[in-house]
Structure 1
Amino acid sequence: MTDSAEQHDGVSRRAQIMLLLASVGGAVSNFGILFVSAKVLDVQENTEFLVFWSLMFGLFGVQSGLQNEATRATTNPSPRGARALVTGTIIGTVSLAVLAATAVLWAPRMLPLSPLPGAATVCLLGMLYPLYVTMVGALGGSRRWETYGLTLLTEVGVRVALVLAIAALGLGLAGFEIASAGGILALVLLPALSPAARRALARRADVPVGRALRNAGWAMTSTTCTALLVTGYSALVAAVAPNASLGDRGPAAAAALMGACMLAVSLTRAPLMMPLTAFVGVAISAFTKHTGTVREAVGRPFLMLGALGLVGACAAWPIGPWALRLFKPEYDLPGWYLASLTASSTLMAWLTILGALALATNRHRLYLGGWCLASAVAIGCLVLPLPLLVTTTLSLSLGPALGCLLFWTALTRPRAHALDTDPAPEVLP
């Protein structure tokens, strides 16, 4: 496919189909992988796999800031700007060093049944994922939406194929962890096969290397808070929730409750957040071209996401407990809890949309502040000496709600009411 066929302001119908398939396929595949792991692994192994899954996607969430920034920065490249490959390589090298140096602190605590293979996989992902998201972000910035969608779709397919193979071979917990990361590891080879991917990595940003790294650092600092609430939330619960929140349960019952809550969070988030995450690059690109008001920019997605969240919450109350027990009979949670988690996913989706709008208008401090506020409130709720179902419900509702309030107040102030898609960049410290 030629550049002229792909590179245009709009998103072609074929690209839209690929993006839809990638987002829906990602959500469905995650359901499938979690279902297979629950059936193949015992309760304690599956709880650890859910922690690994959350660690992996939490890392992806942190580094996804690089994708968002690459999309923004390469939309209007400068001849003196940093090349995407250079930025991604530097960040990947730093990530590897940090993860490897700290592995002795987090791996034995969070992955006690498979500390070595689990930590090695996370460290390798920390090095390679920045290259992948830089490439995907640059594809979005250059409007090569068909290649963008095909890349996301391929990653989903490779991950599912590897997990099913590991399950069939009976390679256990470590095998599931390595296979879950396999999609990203395989796609590092994509630039060798795709001219469009190579051109994306060679594309320049709008600023030199030093400023590009600073902007990417701010974006990833912000998405660190995002990851704590979205993809890495289950790992956060395992790390900070007090033992008192599990009551007087024995080790097996406590592991079952923790695993059930982790799985419930993943299942209720995926229907909204997986598709939305796949389209964030499109949203940022669209917001950079939007010339209307904030209400006009977000009104339609807000209504659509709100309607989906309401329908989902109504369905989750009667159906959710039964569906959860299909994964494991030990996973027994009340309907109100699953409904509240589903409803809170709407708040998270709104927070994501408003954050994308802040980033698209180059308001990095606001983006950071909104997500940090939401994360700080969520963590504060988790450490309360209350039952786990109560603290997680408060955490996932109150935190995003306050973050949305901050974003909305700042973005709709009179001087920011009309979107300025080419503002003077903030002077970041």
Structure 2
Amino acid sequence: MHDRLAPLYSQHLATLRGHADKALALGGFDHLVIAAGTPLRKFLDDQDYPFVANPHFRHWLPLTDAPGSWIVYTPGKKPKLVFLQPKDYWHVVPAAPSGYWVEHFDIVIVRNATDAVAELPAATTRRAIIGPECPSMPGAEANNPQTVLDYLHWHRSYKTAYELELMREASRIGARAHRAAEHAFRAGESEFAIHMAYLAAARQIDAELPYASIVALNEHGAVLHYTHFDRTAPAQSRSFLIDAGASAAGYASDITRTYAAAGHDEFQALIDSVDAAQRDFAARVRPGQSYPELHIHAHHVLATVLREHGVIRMDAERAVATGVTSVFFPHGLGHPIGLQVHDVAGFQQNEMGGSIARPAGHPYLRMTRTLEPGMVVTIEPGLYFIDMLLDELRAKPEANDIDWKKVEALRPYGGIRIEDDVVCTHETPENLTRDAFAQR
């Protein structure tokens, strides 16, 4: 894979340098200084949380474990990496940089934070320092200028060929692990055991995954962010919802699948309908498509699914207008994805900043922009049977148009969510997730 990445990385870095040149000019700065960051200390403890490098740092380099390191970019000059390799016998010291990207950087190895700061442009110069708000490195406090961030975030929405190749790899790893998780579900394992099977197949520990996995059996699928992991398998596993991703050089995949146990045909039929709808939504990830309008369209389609399966007795227009669909589909259709699972600039108006409001009645939508080539978004419709929301619906006039016996029959299955990562291109969308599952 590294042979494929080398030429792509060269092009990627040239793109980043061009964006940095423009961002610095807009903000009135001479240098872009990016902190990898340092681990966060647990409160009243001498241990740290797992380290997660600043996404701006990972945008420039495939280094995910370089705490205390810095990137310095000055227009017209070769980028510089100040790499912290401390003298330490308590922890594994990061290995010296190597690989397809090192020739593009002037690399200085230092042994402590003070020496690292000494390698940065002087404090008397005009520095745009991007990093955590309170870095533990005196003399290099981040200022995170908004003009610079807005410009860089806007252009991070459009993935380079290098980034897409890493996201394909993250999807392949995730798909492999999802197959192992489904196998464990079919074998009757507990949520905890399924999660362990996922980690083993991904060959990544929890801290390396892009987000905390959701592994939900039966009614637990109705908890949108269920991360409990029962250690004991239920007496009967009726359904399984797993929302779990993987990482590749700092880039994320975000994949959700829902399964019915053998013999649970009614729930399987509902899964099949949501899957067909999801494939159609993913096929609409095309240039010029308003993401909020696609989200609203999804509500109308899911209303039709609910009606066809006998859950509601009203037409789609009324189900959406009265908020009934939001009871069964209470989250957004998806979000941008890349270096972060919920990537930046999903609401941004243009490269100078600004914000595009969510449509009324849809407070949890995570993207309001119009799709353009190079964007990568998730498409994740769902249908759930959530007691709190169902109880609120029972008190409304629309309750008369709900088949509550059907709802009660489906409640033990929790819910359905199906999620793919999709690239908007000039032509047919590239479905990273479906392509990864198709590879054996």
Q: Do the two structures share a fold, i.e. TM-score over 0.5?
A: no
Identify the structure with bigger relative contact order (alpha carbons < 8 Å, sequence gap 6+): 1
Name the TM-score, length of structure 2 as normaliser: 0.29
Higher Rg:
2
